[in-house]
């Protein structure tokens, strides 16, 4: 019988701690202002993204300054249709030429599934803050059924090469990566992709998440301390509440439709389920 990953709850009602993957070499300075510009998009799209992304600042001691001129920006958000959704990691955004986007949200955020769009916005801004994909956590206990993953992703609608599949799904982040903060795997993380049981040798599966998990919040509050948020706080932001809600510049990339593309030394992942 397939096993679906669930957060382990202790007898005192709390859950395991620090289940997130944070790449410290991409860290912004605690308390600093991140200047964000929009390259395109309607006023409604921009307002929607701003309202959703702002939720992260409840847990991370950072300031988002919106709608700055492109020439003054650290982060530049585009809405190029068909180009997938992706983001550069953390402060690596500052290494990108200011005439290029550092994040793309390649869909119409007001149609037709707003909750899915909220999840994508939270996920991409999680990357912008330095969070990596949870399924690449070096401490995951399951193992990939390599051939099953390759069989599924090498065909339509993804049509990925084996190298793309290795890069985006099968490879773990090395445990000895400098300034890596990672501990127990968090199946509730907003940074986790959903995947079927057939993709793992143990029959483990996971569904995609739409909320910032408790462990995501804890990790952010530790990496960027000073917001005053505590684990015991009851959330009123709709992200799940208190119970679960360096080197070369690289592009971390995420799920939308279309084939994967190579951009410089980075692979633009546009994962789409069959």
Q: For residues 98 and 85, which has the higher predicted lDDT (pLDDT)?
A: 98
How many whole angstroms separate alpha carbon 148 and alpha carbon 153?
Answer: 9
Of 29-33, 52-56, 71-75, 217-221, the least confident: 217-221
Within a domain: 173: yes
pLDDT bracket for residue 233 (50, 70, 90): confident
Within a domain: 49: yes
pLDDT bracket for residue 66 (50, 70, 90): very high
| Residues 26-29: contacts with CB under 8 Å, at least 24 apart | 26/89, 26/90, 26/91, 26/92, 26/130, 26/246, 27/90, 27/91, 27/130, 27/179, 27/223, 27/224, 28/62, 28/90, 28/91, 28/129, 28/130, 28/224
Within a domain: 181: yes
Number of domains the chain is built from: 1
pTM of the model: 0.75
Within a domain: 97: yes
- 8 A C-beta contact, residue 7 and residue 15: yes
Of 65-74, 114-123, 256-265, the least confident: 256-265
CATH number, domain of 56, equals 3.40.390.10
| 3-state SS string for 3-61 | EECCCCECCCCCECCCCCEEEHHHCCCCCCEEEEEECCCCHHHHHHHHHHHHHHHHCCC
First to last CA, the chain: 22
Within a domain: 273: no
pLDDT bracket for residue 111 (50, 70, 90): low
pLDDT of residue 110: 56
Within a domain: 8: no
Span 180-222, pLDDT tens digits: 666 677 888 998 878 899 999 999 998 878 899 998 999 899 8
Q: For residues 218 and 242, which has the higher predicted lDDT (pLDDT)?
A: 218
Within a domain: 5: no
Within a domain: 67: yes
pLDDT bracket for residue 133 (50, 70, 90): confident
What domain range is 57 assigned to? Answer: 16-268
Does 31 have pLDDT greater than 50?
A: yes
């Amino acid at each position: 019988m397939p096993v679906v990953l669930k957060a382990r709850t202790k007898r005192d009602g709390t859950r395991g701690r620090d289940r997130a993957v944070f790449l410290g070499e991409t860290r912004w300075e605690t308390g600093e202002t991140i200047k964000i510009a929009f390259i395109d998009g309607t006023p409604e799209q921009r307002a929607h993204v701003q309202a959703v992304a702002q939720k992260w600042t409840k847990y991370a001691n950072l300031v988002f300054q919106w709608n700055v001129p492109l020439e003054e920006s650290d982060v530049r958000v585009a809405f190029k249709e068909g180009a997938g959704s992706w983001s550069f990691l953390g402060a690596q955004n500052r290494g990108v030429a200011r005439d290029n986007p550092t994040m793309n949200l390649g869909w119409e955020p007001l149609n037709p599934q707003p909750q899915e769009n909220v999840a994508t916005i939270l996920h991409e801004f999680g990357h912008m803050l330095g969070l990596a994909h949870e399924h690449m956590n070096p401490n995951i206990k399951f193992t990939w059924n390599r051939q099953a993953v390759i069989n599924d992703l090498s065909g339509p609608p993804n049509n990925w090469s084996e190298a793309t599949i290795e890069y985006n799904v099968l490879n773990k982040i090395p445990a000895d990566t400098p300034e890596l903060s990672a501990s127990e795997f968090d199946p509730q993380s907003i940074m986790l992709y959903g995947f079927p049981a057939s993709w793992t040798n143990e029959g483990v599966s996971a569904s995609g998440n739409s909320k910032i998990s408790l462990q995501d919040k804890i990790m952010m509050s530790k990496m960027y301390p000073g917001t005053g948020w505590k684990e015991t706080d009851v959330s009123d932001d709709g992200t799940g509440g208190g119970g679960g809600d360096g080197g070369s510049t690289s592009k971390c990339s995420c799920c939308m439709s279309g084939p994967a593309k190579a951009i410089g030394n980075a692979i633009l992942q546009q994962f789409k389920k069959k």
